Structure 1
Amino acid sequence: MSSLLRLATAGSVDDGKSTLVGRLLYDTKSVLADQLDAVQRASVDKGLSTPDLSLLVDGLRSEREQGITIDVAYRYFATPNRSFVLADTPGHVQYTRNTVTGASTAQLAVLLVDARKGVVEQTKRHAAVLALLGVPHLVLAVNKVDLIGYDEEAFTVIAKEFTAHATSLGYAERAVLAIPVSALHGDNVATRSENTPWYQGPTLLEHLETVPVTDDPHRAAFRFPVQYVIRPRTPEYPDYRGYAGQIASGIVRPGDEVVVLPQGLRSSVERIDTPSGPLEEASAGMSVTLLLSDELDIARGDLLAAAGAHTPTVTDEFDATLCWLSTKPLTPGARVLVKHGTRTVQALVERLKSRFDEQTLATVDDLDSLELNEIASVRLRLSEEIPVDDYGHNPRTGAFLVIDPASGDTLAAGLVGERFTALGA
């Protein structure tokens, strides 16, 4: 069975991101014949001699009319070596929040730049967001190299500048790769280009097929947010008490010792139930019902975790990094809801500690407010204790949402811990 790679794309407007994604789908034969026919007809109507592959991914009418991607869309394709889930995210600055959504589960990000423009402000902003989210691998696709005559020197200057910026964000050089591509003509996307004999690295698709998947949620410690308590109370199942939910991370087997948080109670897994029957093992992403060997008072919102030295911290106050997603500014003293796993609690924003400047990699302290798309370190105080992991240790249980208690709108994506220190700020 081939492995799975989750990746995200990002870049500025008009860098050719939609064309690159369309090229990947086309070159991996992941496009249906009727889709390709529709694209070819639309391309002819536009007066083009070759198919406009960006039409394969700019599916919304408003996207096609504006020529930009405005929402996150997930694309699926595969090669004999690996399967891929691609989050295609917008490039415009006003949609930075969509990039956070798309990149939140990515193991690799492809960041595009126009070879004529090089690294721009939005490139640095996206790289900072990707670093904050802990995306382990970065690819800089220097697109439209055909428009600079496949100039090696120009590519080298861009690659060096971006690599320096990425390493200042905490990336190791081996985790960053720059590739000269032309999405329009297919240079170095799926096949090696004769126009860049000076480039000795892999094509984009070769790199996607071979990059090691390092943040496998199966390898993290076991975490299971309880979604629902099942108690049929029928003659057939008089004493059945099961805890249903989706495994956030790790692996669980019958006999494993677990701790119930925030209470701190301990028990062991007696059985793993599914609609298809019991299992001897279940892993991250699977929805199961767990039966424990002890009768405990467990409810929705509680967390079952592997018993050991690295259990989550139970607290009602913590520092966090927020990416603010709302047009309504955040101010100190604001009352919000924090949704962590299956538990939602009231919270108070005690302090806006500092804002991260993704261009200078510096911080601005003691803020009066936090605006749309800004990233800041804050102090939150909760109405009750919850079990949390530092995002750097376990992203699945180190992430949360901030919600408007009046409207129910999502206000921010939150990461437990001060992530700025990881970026050298």
Structure 2
Amino acid sequence: MSDLHVRSPRSTQLLRLATAGSVDDGKSTLVGRLLYDTKSVLADQIDAVTRASVDKGLSTPDLSLLVDGLRAEREQGITIDVAYRYFATPRRSFVLADTPGHVQYTRNTVSGASTAQMVILLVDARKGVISQTRKHAAVLALLGVPKLVLAVNKIDLVEDPATVFANISAEFNSLTSSLGWASEDVVEIPVSALHGDNVAVRSENTPYYDGPTLIEHLESVPVDAEPHRVGLRFPVQYVIRPRTAEFPDYRGYAGQVAAGEVTPGDEVVILPSGVRTTVTRIDTADGELDSAHAGRSVTLVLADDVDVSRGDVIASPADAPEPLGEFDATVCWLAEKPLRPGARLLLKHGTRTTQAIVGTLVERFNEQELTSEPSPESLELNEIGKISVRVAEPIVADDYTVNRHTGSFLLIDPAGGNTLAAGLVGDAIAAVELGERV
């Protein structure tokens, strides 16, 4: 049995992935292949897929059925929502956001890729780079995705695979370069998800390709969990005051470190009030810590009895952001009802939710031409644009180009509570248009 199929208890390094691509490019089959080749599905699931494949008249298991779980999806042959899959190899663990390929589901691509450290973008070798590929690449550039893999799928179905792969790779490299990716951040791999070529095992059918398999690349690619480092950002989620005989005066501030690092003795500033104090302890359920990095959930104990509440941010004074009452933002509109100037919504940023008013619609982004239309009357479903926003309570946010975690927010329907838009603080559109990916 290959080492690939042995899960190591030491595989603690996590890589967050997302898939993107057009309809019928084979994303579901590729994700099913990844799960199958890493032994991440149960035997009874494989048996069920094998039986379903036989019922469909297929000679081999249809691995797409491992991920297209809904019967309606199977009948239509499409995937209609974002689904999160988990698999592991001896070197890494993976969380994969599998997004649909239909053009009307751009919002799902945004949702799936917003936290991804790498995206696997699929193209059909018979079709090459098409308009939907360009749209996805532009959206991923807006979101600041650090690494891309172009999986040229169905490479076994073209007559001259070496030439086809070379031409698609050259076109895609030109596209990603124009969007601001460095050449070392983009890799192209010829694959056949159906037969497993170059997914987990190197294929003898692609002698023109001497690079890694997809899984080898996923295991080895260096990915910084926080590519744009800033100082401490700690949104306060809860104020903990147990009021017990053992802890009569305890006051701690619980939350997750959104950026940077904190250690006891650090001077910090409470935002938006601007009050300064010092961290005395870092508590967890398992005891005290000497330090806490981005992604760690902890409770901070401060030296002074200062006014801190949910929604406030504990930050490093050296680069603390100025609280924002009005700002420009890039948004992807997710709702059927269009966005128009003057809309009154709720804005959720970190642990703070506040009322917001949309001012002007500054521009609408054309993902195909990488240009903008000024002053649109509205933003429709799946459209991306730059808007101005005014909030009732200031938010403590970094520009998205500085930090993805503290520069993102949601716009919410105050009546129904539905998410209406995903937003990025600042002008991410301008950076992409200039080929300066965030």
Separation in structure 2 between the aligned mates of residue 66 and residue 293 of structure 1, nearest angstrom: 60
Separation in structure 2 between the aligned mates of residue 346 and residue 291 of structure 1, nearest angstrom: 30
Q: CA deviation at 1:233?
A: 2.5
1:389 matched to which residue of 2?
Answer: 398
2:216 matched to which residue of 1?
Answer: 206
Counterpart selection for 2:353 from 344, 349, 354: 344
Separation in structure 2 between the aligned mates of residue 34 and residue 217 of structure 1, nearest angstrom: 40
Separation in structure 2 between the aligned mates of residue 268 and residue 150 of structure 1, nearest angstrom: 65
Separation in structure 2 between the aligned mates of residue 151 and residue 122 of structure 1, nearest angstrom: 22
Counterpart selection for 2:303 from 285, 293, 297: 293
Write the deviation string for residues 184-232 of structure 1: whole angstroms up to 9, x where unpaired: 1111111111111111222111111111112437954321111111122
After TM superposition, the score normalised by the length of structure 2 is: 0.94
**Unaligned ranges ≥5, structure 2:** 1-9
- 1:359 correspondence with 2:376: no
Q: Against the structure 1 CA distance between its residues 343 and 103, is the aligned structure 2 distance closer, same or farther, given a 3 Å change threshold?
A: same
1:65 matched to which residue of 2?
Answer: 75
Write the deviation string for residues 90-122 of structure 1: whole angstroms up to 9, x where unpaired: 111121111111111111100011111111121
Q: Against the structure 1 CA distance between its residues 218 and 78, is the aligned structure 2 distance closer, same or farther, given a 3 Å change threshold?
A: farther
- 1:176 correspondence with 2:186: yes
Write the deviation string for residues 158-200 of structure 1: whole angstroms up to 9, x where unpaired: 1111111111111112211111111011111111111111112
Q: Please state whether the residue corresponding to 1:74 is helix, strand or coil.
A: strand
Counterpart selection for 2:18 from 8, 15, 39: 8
Counterpart selection for 1:167 from 177, 185, 188: 177
Q: Please state whether the residue corresponding to 1:313 is helix, strand or coil.
A: coil
Q: CA deviation at 1:150?
A: 5.2
Kindly report which structure 2 residues correspond to 1:95-174, keeping only aligned pairs within 5 A, or say none. 95-149=105-159, 151-174=161-184
2:240 matched to which residue of 1?
Answer: 230
Separation in structure 1 between the aligned mates of residue 228 and residue 270 of structure 2, nearest angstrom: 20
Q: Please state whether the residue corresponding to 1:339 is helix, strand or coil.
A: strand
Q: Against the structure 1 CA distance between its residues 388 and 170, is the aligned structure 2 distance closer, same or farther, given a 3 Å change threshold?
A: same
Q: Please state whether the residue corresponding to 2:109 is helix, strand or coil.
A: helix
* Cα RMSD for the two superposed structures: 1.5
Counterpart selection for 2:47 from 34, 37, 59: 37
Q: CA deviation at 1:268?
A: 1.1
AA partner of residue 83 (structure 1) = S
Write the deviation string for residues 332-351 of structure 1: whole angstroms up to 9, x where unpaired: 11111111111111111111
AA partner of residue 77 (structure 1) = F
Contact 2:228–2:402 (CA under 8 A) maintained in structure 1: no
Contact 1:218–1:251 (CA under 8 A) maintained in structure 2: no
Contact 2:269–2:277 (CA under 8 A) maintained in structure 1: yes
AA partner of residue 409 (structure 1) = N
Separation in structure 2 between the aligned mates of residue 209 and residue 238 of structure 1, nearest angstrom: 49
Kindly report which structure 2 residues correspond to 1:373-384, keeping only aligned pairs within 5 A, or say none. 373-384=382-393
Q: Against the structure 1 CA distance between its residues 211 and 150, is the aligned structure 2 distance closer, same or farther, given a 3 Å change threshold?
A: farther
After TM superposition, the score normalised by the length of structure 1 is: 0.96
Separation in structure 1 between the aligned mates of residue 228 and residue 122 of structure 2, nearest angstrom: 30
Separation in structure 1 between the aligned mates of residue 258 and residue 160 of structure 2, nearest angstrom: 45
Q: Please state whether the residue corresponding to 1:395 is helix, strand or coil.
A: coil
- 1:267 correspondence with 2:277: yes
Contact 1:218–1:250 (CA under 8 A) maintained in structure 2: no
Question: Percent same amino acid at aligned positions?
Answer: 69
1:247 matched to which residue of 2?
Answer: 257
Q: CA deviation at 1:424?
A: 2.4
1:422 matched to which residue of 2?
Answer: 431
Q: Against the structure 1 CA distance between its residues 234 and 273, is the aligned structure 2 distance closer, same or farther, given a 3 Å change threshold?
A: same
1:329 matched to which residue of 2?
Answer: 338
Separation in structure 1 between the aligned mates of residue 267 and residue 228 of structure 2, nearest angstrom: 17
Separation in structure 1 between the aligned mates of residue 229 and residue 393 of structure 2, nearest angstrom: 30
AA partner of residue 153 (structure 1) = T
Counterpart selection for 1:21 from 23, 31, 56: 31
Separation in structure 2 between the aligned mates of residue 89 and residue 257 of structure 1, nearest angstrom: 42
Separation in structure 2 between the aligned mates of residue 422 and residue 62 of structure 1, nearest angstrom: 40
Q: Please state whether the residue corresponding to 1:81 is helix, strand or coil.
A: coil
AA partner of residue 264 (structure 2) = P
Counterpart selection for 1:92 from 86, 102, 105: 102
Separation in structure 1 between the aligned mates of residue 14 and residue 226 of structure 2, nearest angstrom: 10
